[in-house]
Amino acid sequence: MAYTEVEVDLLPEELKKAKTNLIGVLIFMLIFFAFIKFFFWDNLLSEIDEMIPIIIFGVFFLLFLAVLGYIMRGFILDFIKKKKQILTGTITDKHIDITTSHSSSGGSRGSTRSKTTTRRTYYLYFDDKKLPVDAIIYGRMSVGMEVEIHYSKYSQTVFYNRVIAEAEISEDKIKAIVPDVDKHQNFVPKERELQMTKADFELLKKARNRAIKNRIWVIVILGWVVIGSLFSGLWLIPIMIFPFTIWWFLAFRKMIKYILAYRKEVNTGMKIVYSELVLDKFRQTGNTRGFFIRTNNQLISVNESNYEQVKMGDLIMVFKGKATGWVFGFMTSDNELYEVKSDAKLKKK
């Protein structure tokens, strides 16, 4: 279903929400100006005779003021125009942008405090339309759902949302993932053990090589510092860089774990096949990039071309190694075998 948008007047309760948002931004700006006035201007900048620090401060102040003005502009237009958009359509994709930033500040007695901030931004796609939403709406709505969302085109505030229709899933597909019940009323998973094929071994090999490639530079560079220091008798260096030492040992242990798991799976030569239903999918950008499909049982990382092929409601056959439980691939209804990119959960059955 192609999406449609119409513009209508805000309801009284929505206008009240727009007014509350505007007041909140104004209060924040007043607090910000008071902080600048009493802390920076009266106590710090007033004692500086040189112009360069004042100019630098002025530039940063104007940039921050421009950002606040842009945010405030949206809420002001909401209150003046008193209009909203009603979007109706089928969600075609989802996107989450995760950005992590690190900052440090001076503490007492010359110590340094580090702070990590993670910012998540959520989007829903309706064909070419990209709509920012909050985490609650993002988590509740899935690809393939037909939804109705009331939002402001100025501040992007979502006033109302509802699911009109769930994505259609055939009864045969649902039956394929529901476990059987034995004579004692115990659930029996619909799993089959099969001999691995040449294509399976190729996927396992690619997964092993990727695991090594993702960690080899950490192991080589940090290993030169950590192991080299130990052999040189400089025991103090690994202690001083203790977090990096732990990072090196964990990366080395993980790589060895993948190599041993690959050997176990090749020697066993058996795989377990079972059905899963694709319930949602989304793409992730920021510090960590990837494409993911969510099934009724797990989250699977895939490459971009596979991501575009898989659709909501698809029934897929998941393959995992019998020896370690390594989920290494899946097959769709077109009999195409796809690679799983996420780190393997190597759990002995």
Q: Is the pLDDT of residue 102 over 70?
A: no
- pLDDT of residue 349 exceeding 50: no
Strand partners, 105: 113
* pLDDT exceeds cutoff 80 at 235: no
The pLDDT value recorded for residue 188 is 55
Arithmetic mean of pLDDT, 157-178: 78
Report how far residue 154's alpha carbon sits from residue 314's, in angstroms, rounded to the nearest whole number: 37
pLDDT exceeds cutoff 60 at 127: yes
Mean pLDDT of 187-213: 84
48 pLDDT tier (thresholds 50, 70, 90): low
What mean pLDDT is predicted for residues 97-123? 70
Question: What mean pLDDT do residues 28-44 have?
Answer: 72
Residue 312 confidence (pLDDT) above 70: yes
Tens digits of residue pLDDT in 55-81: 776 777 788 778 778 778 888 888 888
> Can you read off the two tokens belonging to residue 330?
């899946």
pLDDT of residue 191: 82
CA 11 – CA 21 distance, rounded (Å) = 15
Q: Are 286 and 99 in contact (CB under 8 A)?
A: yes
Stated length of the chain: 349
Res 47: pLDDT? 61
- Of the pLDDT bands very low, low, confident and very high (cuts 50, 70, 90), residue 143 is very high
pLDDT of the residue at 212: 87
Average pLDDT over residues 41-61: 66
- Domain spans of the chain, in order of start: 4-165, 194-339
pLDDT of 222 above 60: yes
Residue 266 banded pLDDT, cuts 50, 70, 90: very high
Average pLDDT over residues 314-328: 87
Structure tokens at 137: 């709406």
| Residue-level pLDDT at 348 | 42
Least confident of 33-47, 172-186, 246-260, 281-295: 172-186
In whole numbers, what is the pLDDT of the chain averaged over residues? 81
Q: Given a cut of 70, is residue 262 above it in pLDDT?
A: yes
User: For residue range 1-15, what is the model confidence (pLDDT) as tens digits?
Assistant: 678 999 999 898 888
Residue 232 has pLDDT above 80, yes or no: no
pLDDT of residue 264: 92
pLDDT computed for residue 150 by the predictor:
94
What SS3 string covers the chain?
Answer: CCCEEEEEECCHHHHHHHHHHHHHHHHHHHHHHHHHHHHHHCCCHHHCCCHHHHHHHHHHHHHHHHHHHHHHHHHHHHHHHCEEEEEEEECCEEEEEEEEEEEEEECHHHCEEEEEEEEEEEEEEECCEEEEECHHHHHHCCCCCEEEEEECCCCCCEEEEEEEECCCCCHHHHHHHCCEECCCCCEECCEEEEECCHHHHHHHHHHHHHHHHHHHHHHHHHHHHHHHHHHCCCCHHHHHCHHHHHHHHHHHHHHHHHHHHHHHHHHHCEEEEEEEEEEEEEEEEECCCEEEEEECCCEEEECHHHHHHCCCCCEEEEEEECCCCCEEEEECCCCCEEECCCCCCCCCC
Tell me, what's the pLDDT at 196?
A: 92
Q: Kindly tell me if the per-residue pLDDT of 242 is higher than 90.
A: no
What are the structure tokens assigned to 200, written together?
Answer: 């399976």
| Rounded percentage of the chain residues whose pLDDT exceeds 90 | 21
